[in-house]
Amino acid sequence: MKTLSKMKTKLIAPLLLLFLVSCAPYKNIPKISSMSDLKYDYQVKYANLSDNIKLAYIDEGKGSETIIMIHGLGSYLPAWKKNIGELSKYYRVIAVDLPGYGKSSKAPHSGKMSFYAGIIAELIQKLELGPVNLAGHSMGGQISMVLALEKPELVKRLILVDPAGFEYFHAGQKNWFKEVMTPNLVRLTPVDAIETNLASNFFRMPDDARFMIEDRIAMRDAADFEAYCLAVARSVYGMVDEPVLDKLSAIKMPTLIFFGENDMLIPNRYLNPGFTVKIAEAGAKLIEGSKLVMVPKCGHFMMFEKSDVFNTETRKFIN
């Protein structure tokens, strides 16, 4: 046993050292008591809308054209941070936190696409904006399409970024979404899965997108986090319950559509595996006169991962 003792001494020490030096990731993320404590790069304003909804938004730049940016599922307005600065040089840019998300109020709501579209319509009217350019990412794209269909007079142009709503789901698949996406699933998502979920939005996750992971981790301590989880789950129900695929041909305003060629969320990789370009082309074909831009080496978060392409093409489109 002498040999054993000697070996133990030689081996245990370096192993313990290795264990101790291994860092706990994200240990320095500051705790927040409310999602209002999240740090945004722009001054946040609030609009008091009907049903006591307090909508957080940023309003940057000036110009004859206004762009309203609507984020996707589980996201928030900083998702547009690489577009707001550039586009606000030429246009008035308004980016919103949808009700239940970010710094907006968290009272429970239906999560329906028509509910969110109504909120945007109310904001347009409250700020007396007139017809605007609507830019929607993912779920925000579906909300934009619903608003364009319900109140076309408020929408001058549509800019859709990897929009939800182009993909067909049958009844069984819709039920699967509803059964899987519960508030508890959102609430109990562990750090590893938060990382993976965010990273799967990109072809190659850029370092400057890590703030989304850190913010999502920090949110878990916020008092209004459970309300956010409910909003996310209900938003999924809203997306599957209010499909727009069979109504796309009714969209008549100029429409610019972006898709990352390597979007790993559209089509759904479990339910409808296949090529993104097929979904994108089929959807674009239904919107008369729309322009489709397929962006190579780019994932679902196109406006962030290839912000230069988004900003340039958007300027060309509006001008």
Partner 1 sequence: MQWNVGASAYYVRDRGKGQGGVSVFGEGLGSTLSAYNGSFVFDIPRDYKADIVWLGMNFSKNPDFWLDPLQITGFLNFNLGSVRTNNDGSYNKAADIFGFAGNLRAAYRYGRTLNDNISADFIYASGDKNGIDDQKYSGVITGNTWGMPASIFVGTGGYLLFPHANVVNRFTPAVSDISNMGYGLIGGTMNVTRDLIPNRMYVKGGTAMAISPVSPQQGGRLLGTELNAAISYSFGPFMSLEMHGAYLWLGDFYDSQDDAYGYAVNGNSDTRPVNPFTVFIVYKWLLF
- Note the residues at the interface with partner 1 (CB under 8 A): 1, 3-4, 7-8, 11-12, 15-16, 18-19, 21-23, 25, 192, 195-196, 199-200, 203-205, 261-262, 264, 269-271, 273-276
Nearest residue (CB) to partner 1, 271 versus 309 = 271
Single-letter amino acid code for the residue at 274: G
Nearest residue (CB) to partner 1, 11 versus 223 = 11
Nearest residue (CB) to partner 1, 46 versus 275 = 275
Looking at residue 169, what DSSP letter applies? -
Rounded least distance, CB 243 to partner 1, Å: 21
CB 262 within 8 A of CB 203: yes
Rounded least distance, CB 175 to partner 1, Å: 13
Length in residues, the chain: 319
Cα 51 from Cα 107, distance rounded (Å): 9
CA-to-CA separations, 281 to 167, 252, 284, 286, in angstroms, rounded: 11, 17, 5, 9
Rounded least distance, CB 157 to partner 1, Å: 30
- Strands (E) in 145-205, as ranges, are 155-161
Looking at residue 14, what DSSP letter applies? H
Q: Rounded to an integer, what is the distance from CA 44 to the centroid of its chain?
A: 18
Nearest residue (CB) to partner 1, 3 versus 319 = 3
Nearest residue (CB) to partner 1, 92 versus 306 = 306
In three-state secondary structure terms, 118 is: helix
Rounded least distance, CB 290 to partner 1, Å: 24
Rounded least distance, CB 19 to partner 1, Å: 4
